[in-house]
């Protein structure tokens, strides 16, 4: 095994690490190393010096202490939906074996270990009549999602970010200490962890509030892409008329010809309108009517659904694939923005991106939570996100297309953005990370980074440099 500087690590040290943990310790070339390093985005491979497949918080402590003793950086992976660096030379801690979960129906809380995905929480929470603040893709990991804010396309405008409802985090900091972090006992570290995603330690367990929601009215309406202009106009006129219990987004999609997609969508150019409404189906029908009237639909999947079907709103891909992505916070989606969006992504644009979406935020996303955190996107009106499928040998061309579309939206850009929507490319832009948090928030984060991670052990992320 070699470290970041290419030095060989002492095999006895690695043997000692192996003896100190229950989970597997895998070096490059070992059976299981590739599988343990697997990522959702296939153009973002992980190549750490060693992987520790943590089976418990004690394993995480042992792995972080090992890294500290040998001056190695630490990377962490759960469900692998936002790997931003190959983490070469690092100790990679994978949390996929840490599947502990409990639901407290009386207090309305859920506690999960670091390897749990939302798809595993949904049925357990539903048994207690509860719903967590889950995002569009239930295969995403709970902890990474929550540390990056956690923007839900169904509960968010009513309850705010997932991070706003965290009661406790157990975290192993760079010094190898396991700390119990609550807003009462450790308000600074609590503030930094929730928003500062991955910069302050390895979270081993998290406890958060869930809400008494068991169903919703929603899903997606697909229109032929030629009707983008009418759909955008109808959506923009409609947005100010709906309350916080209605969440929506719109996406232009050039879909692949995959059997996983319903027949009319295979290989199709579509506008996908996404609806998540917490009121009754009858009210939902009435509210969605002006959108249905915008153009003839290709496929209308909006209806009454159990909460566990939240993934049907966006129908995000679930299988790993190679792609490049970009995101941008927008302060408005005015008539001029919509016109530019149409020209950049519409039928005449020549756009090759698989999806370009605009999510409307607002509502409770704008409100300060009871316990302050460092989520930087509060008050952001919209977020644009785009991805393009292709392999690393096409990187320049694919990035070029993303740049073309996002440069065209820059006149309406906001410096704020959702941490969870940042791409791997954005992780190498130190100035961009500073701007995203804003000077004041970044300086406080950097000061806390100096306290809890002065050596920047946790650096394979949207890095906050220790002050
Ligand atoms: C298809 C798709 C749909 C998505 N939809 C939404 C959405 O609707 N709303 C939203 O907010 N986000 C959304 N996201 C973003 C998603 O929330 C983030 O990518 C999230 O970080 C994924 O977590 P993971 O465990 O899957 O990823 P991983 O790649 O395993 O983790 C990502 C990062 O999270 C941090 N992290 C993970 N676990 C820990 C831990 N135990 N301790 C400390 N740090 C940790 C690390 O910095 C790590 O690099 C979506 C992503 C995809 C790919």
Q: What is the CATH number of the domain that holds 74?
A: 3.30.43.10
Q: Which residue has the tokens 């409404």?
A: 277
Q: Which two tokens stand for residue 433?
A: 């990370």
DSSP conformational letter for 465 = P
Q: Is 355 in the pocket of ligand 1 (CB under 6 A)?
A: no
Same domain as 124, residue 59: no
Kindly give the number of the ligand 1 atom that is closest to the alpha carbon of 460.
Answer: 49
Report residue 27 as tokens. Answer: 């070096």
In a domain, 466, yes or no: no
Residues 81 and 109 placed together within one structural domain of the fold: no
Task: Note the pLDDT of residue 8.
Answer: 58
Residues 389 and 445 both lie in one domain? no
For residues 264 and 197, state if they share a domain: no
What's the confidence (pLDDT) of residue 458?
98
Same domain, 152 and 244: no
| Residue 86 included in any domain | yes
Cα separation, 265 vs 317, in Å, equals 14
Per-residue model confidence (pLDDT) at position 1: 47
| Claim to verify: residue 221 and residue 192 sit in the same structural domain | no
The domain boundary, picked from 52, 70, 94, lies at: 94
pLDDT of residue 195: 98
Let me know if residue 28 belongs to a domain: yes
The pLDDT score that the predictor gives to residue 7 is 47
**Measuring from atom 4 of ligand 1, which residue has the nearest CA?**
137
User: Are 246 and 351 part of one and the same domain?
Assistant: yes
Whether residue 125 sits in one domain with residue 257: no
- Same structural domain, 90 and 106: no
Distance 40 CA to ligand 1 centre (A): 11
Domain assignment present for 15: yes
Total tally of structural domains belonging to the chain = 3
Calculate what percentage of the chain has a pLDDT beyond 90: 95
- Distance, in Å, from the CA atom of 166 to the CA atom of 162, rounded to the nearest integer, reads 7
Considering the domain boundaries, does residue 414 fall inside one?
Answer: yes
Q: How far, in Å, CA of 181 to CA of 204, rounded? A: 11
Residue 115: partners with Cβ closer than 8 Å, 6 or more residues away: 78, 94, 95, 96, 97, 98, 99, 141
Please state, in angstroms and as integers, the Cα–Cα distance from residue 243 to each residue in 150, 238, 240, 256, 436, following that order.
20, 11, 8, 34, 28
> What are the beta bridge partners of residue 277?
217, 246
Instruction: Please tell me whether residues 152 and 166 are part of one structural domain.
Output: yes
Q: Where residue 164 sits, what CATH number does that domain have?
A: 3.30.465.10
Sort strands 74-77 and 91-94 into parallel, antiparallel or unpaired: parallel
Quick one: pLDDT at residue 68? Answer: 96
Residues of the chain with confidence (pLDDT) below 50: 1-5, 7
* Best mutation site among 39, 121, 141, 457 for ligand 1 pocket (most ligand atoms within 8 Å of CB): 141
- Among residues 94, 113, 147, the one where a domain terminates is 94
Residue 2 in any domain: the answer is no
At 181 the pLDDT is 98
pLDDT on residue 427: 86
Domain boundary residue among 94, 127, 161? 94
Does residue 275 have its Cβ closer than 6 Å to ligand 1?
Answer: no
CA 121 to each of CA 7, 141, 150, 204, 308: distance values in angstroms, whole numbers, following the listed order: 42, 10, 15, 16, 9
Residue 25 phi, psi dihedral angles, 5° rounding? -120, 115
* Residue numbers of the domain that contains 184: 101-212+438-452
Q: CA quadruple 372, 180, 116, 37: dihedral positive or negative?
A: positive
Q: Are residues 110 and 204 in the same domain?
A: yes
Structural domain contains residue 44:
yes
Which phi-psi region, left, alpha or beta, contains residue 405 (left: φ > 0; alpha: ψ -120 to 50)? alpha
The answer to whether the CB of 103 is under 6 A from ligand 1 is no
What per-residue confidence (pLDDT) applies to 437? 96
Confirm whether 287 is domain-assigned: yes
- At 303, which CATH number? 3.40.462.20
| Ligand 1 atom 37, closest CA | 144
Contact 417, 380 (CB under 8 A): yes
For residues 219 and 203, state if they share a domain: no
């Amino acid at each position: 095994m070699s470290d970041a500087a290419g030095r060989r690590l002492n095999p006895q040290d690695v043997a000692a690490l192996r003896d100190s943990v229950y989970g597997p310790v895998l070096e490059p070339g070992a059976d299981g190393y590739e599988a343990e390093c697997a990522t959702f985005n296939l153009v973002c491979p992980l190549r750490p010096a060693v992987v520790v497949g943590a089976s418990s918080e004690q394993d995480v402590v042992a792995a972080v202490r090992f890294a500290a003793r040998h001056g190695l950086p630490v990377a962490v992976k759960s469900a692998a939906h936002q790997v931003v660096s190959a983490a070469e030379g690092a100790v990679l801690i994978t949390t996929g074996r840490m599947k502990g979960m409990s639901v407290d129906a009386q207090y309305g809380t859920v506690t999960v270990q670091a390897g749990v995905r939302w798809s595993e929480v949904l049925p357990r929470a539903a048994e207690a009549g509860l719903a967590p603040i889950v995002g569009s893709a239930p295969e995403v990991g709970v902890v990474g999602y929550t540390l990056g804010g956690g923007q839900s396309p169904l509960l968010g405008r009513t309850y705010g970010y997932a991070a706003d409802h965290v009661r406790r985090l157990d975290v192993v900091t760079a010094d190898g200490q396991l700390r119990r972090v609550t807003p009462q006992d450790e308000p600074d570290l609590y503030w930094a962890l929730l928003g500062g995603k991955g910069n302050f330690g390895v979270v081993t367990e998290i406890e958060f509030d869930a809400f008494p929601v068991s169903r919703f009215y929603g899903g997606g309406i697909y229109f032929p892409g030629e009707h983008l202009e009418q759909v955008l106009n109808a959506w923009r006129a409609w947005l100010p008329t709906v309350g916080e219990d209605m969440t929506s987004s719109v996406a232009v999609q050039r879909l692949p010809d995959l059997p996983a997609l319903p027949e009319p969508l295979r290989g199709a150019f579509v506008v996908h309108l996404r609806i998540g409404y917490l009121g009754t189906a009858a009210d939902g029908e009435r509210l969605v009517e002006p959108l249905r009237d915008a153009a003839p639909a290709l496929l209308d999947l909006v209806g009454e659904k159990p909460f566990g079907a939240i993934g049907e709103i966006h129908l995000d891909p679930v299988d790993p694939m190679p792609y490049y992505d970009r995101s941008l916070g927008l302060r408005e989606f005015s008539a001029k923005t919509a016109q530019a969006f149409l020209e950049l992504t519409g039928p005449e644009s020549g756009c090759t991106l698989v999806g370009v979406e605009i999510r409307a935020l607002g509502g409770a996303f704008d409100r300060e939570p009871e316990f302050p955190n460092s989520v930087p996107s509060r008050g952001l009106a919209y977020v644009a996100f785009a991805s393009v499928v292709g392999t690393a040998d096409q990187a320049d061309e694919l990035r070029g297309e993303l740049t073309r579309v996002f440069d065209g939206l820059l006149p309406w850009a906001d410096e704020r953005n959702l941490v969870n929507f940042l791409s791997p490319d954005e992780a190498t832009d130190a100035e961009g990370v500073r701007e995203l948090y804003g000077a004041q928030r970044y300086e406080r984060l950097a000061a806390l980074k100096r306290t809890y991670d002065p050596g920047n052990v946790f650096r394979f992320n949207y890095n906050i440099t220790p002050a």
